[in-house]
Amino acid sequence: MSALRRRPFPTGCLARRVWRCLPRSFSRVLLCLVLGLFAAFASAEATRVAAAADLKFALAEIAGNYRRDTGREIALSFGSSGNFARQIPQGAPFDLFLSADETYIFRLAGQGLLRDEGQLYAIGRIALLAPPGSPLLVDGELRDLAAALADGRLQRLAIANPQHAPYGRAARAALEQAGLWQALQGKLVLGENVAQAAQFALSGSAQGGIVAWSLVRAPALAKLGVAALIPESWHPPLRQRMALTRRAGEDARRFYDYLQQPAARVIFERYGFSLPER
C-alpha cells in the first residue's frame, strides 16, 4: 500500500530543485503557456461602454457585429447622458462614453477624465410617437396637440427628463416652439431617459410621447406605434460625441475606432442619424 501512497507536490526548496532539473526548452514552453493564460484572461474582460439611451438598438446591433467579427466582448450600459456624466467623475468603471450631448464630453475632458475630446459620431432627431388606438393625430409639427389638450383627448405626454436627458431638452424646445410647453405642465410623464419615455408612450401610460427618432426606426418599436419626424429647426442640434476614458485599454480603443468605420456608420444611418463627414 505504501507504494501507492501519493507523494506531495514539491514545494519550497525542493520545487526549485525540480524546476532547475527540467530541460530549458520545456521550461520555456511552460512559461509561455502561463503567460498565454494571463493574456487570455486579460483579453476576456469586456470593454465597458456607457451609451445614451437613444442608441439602445443601433449600438446593440453594432456591438453584436463587432463581437461576431472579433470575438471581443462589449458590455453596454444605456441611460441618460447626464447621469453618466455624473457617474464617471465618481469612479464608474466605463472605458468609453457615447453621449447624446457633446457638452458632457467637453466638460469631462476639461476635468481630465477622458483621453481627449473624442469624436462626433452622429446627430440625432426627435419624433412624436403614439401607440395604436391613441386619440392623437400624429404629425411632426404637433398641430393636433393643442386641440387634443382643449378637448380632453390628451391627458399624458411622455418625454425624457429635461434635467439630465438631452432628448428631453430637445422635446421641451419643440413643445416651446409649438407654444405648448406651459399648457402641458401637469400632463407630462417624465422618463429617466428617452428609452423609458418611449416605453411610457407605447405602454398606455401616456397617449403619446416625443422620443428619439432612432428608437422608433428600430423594427422592435416601428410595429408598435405611429411616429412623425419633428423639424430639426425646432430644437438645438443633438450633436452626439464619444470619447475614451482614462482607464480605457487597447480593446476599448479598437471598438472606438470600429464605431467610425463604414460598417458601423451604415447602421447609425439606417436608424435615422445624420452622420458627420469623415
The stretch 201-217 carries a mean pLDDT of: 97
**Is a pLDDT exceeding 70 seen at residue 140?**
yes
The model's confidence at residue 35, banded by pLDDT at 50, 70 and 90, is very low
For 50, phi then psi, to 5°, come to -95, 120
pTM of the model: 0.83
* Residue 229 CA from chain centroid, whole number: 22
Segments making up each domain of the chain, as ranges: 44-123+239-270, 124-234
The whole-number pLDDT of residue 23 equals 54
- Identical topology for domains 44-123+239-270 and 124-234: yes
- Which DSSP string do the residues of the chain spell out, in sequence order? -GGGSPPPPP-HHHHHHHHHHS-HHHHHHHHHHHHHHHHHHHHHSPEEEEEEGGGTTHHHHHHHHHHHHH---EEEEEE-HHHHHHHGGGT---SEEEESSHHHHHHHHHTT-BSSS-EEEEEE-EEEEE-TT-SSPP-TT-HHHHHHHHHT--S-EEEE-TTT-HHHHHHHHHHHHTT-TTTTTTTEEEESSHHHHHHHHHHTSSSEEEEEHHHHTSHHHHTT-EEEEPPGGGS--EEEEEEEBTT--HHHHHHHHHTTSHHHHHHHHHTT-B----
* Span 201-221, average pLDDT: 96
Question: Under CATH, domain 44-123+239-270 is a member of which superfamily?
Answer: Periplasmic binding protein-like II (3.40.190.10)
Which amino acid type is present at position 278? Answer: R
Residue 194 to residue 221: CA distance in whole angstroms: 13
Provide, rounded to the nearest whole percent, the portion of the chain with pLDDT above 70: 84
CB-CB contact of 132 with 170 (8 Å)? no
CATH topology for 124-234 is D-Maltodextrin-Binding Protein; domain 2 (3.40.190)
Condensed to tens digits (0 to 9), the pLDDT of residues 175-201 reads 999 999 999 999 999 999 999 999 999
Residue 41: pLDDT above 50?
Answer: no
Low-confidence winner among 21-25, 189-193, 236-240 (lowest mean pLDDT) = 21-25
Count CB atoms within 10 A of the CB of residue 277: 4
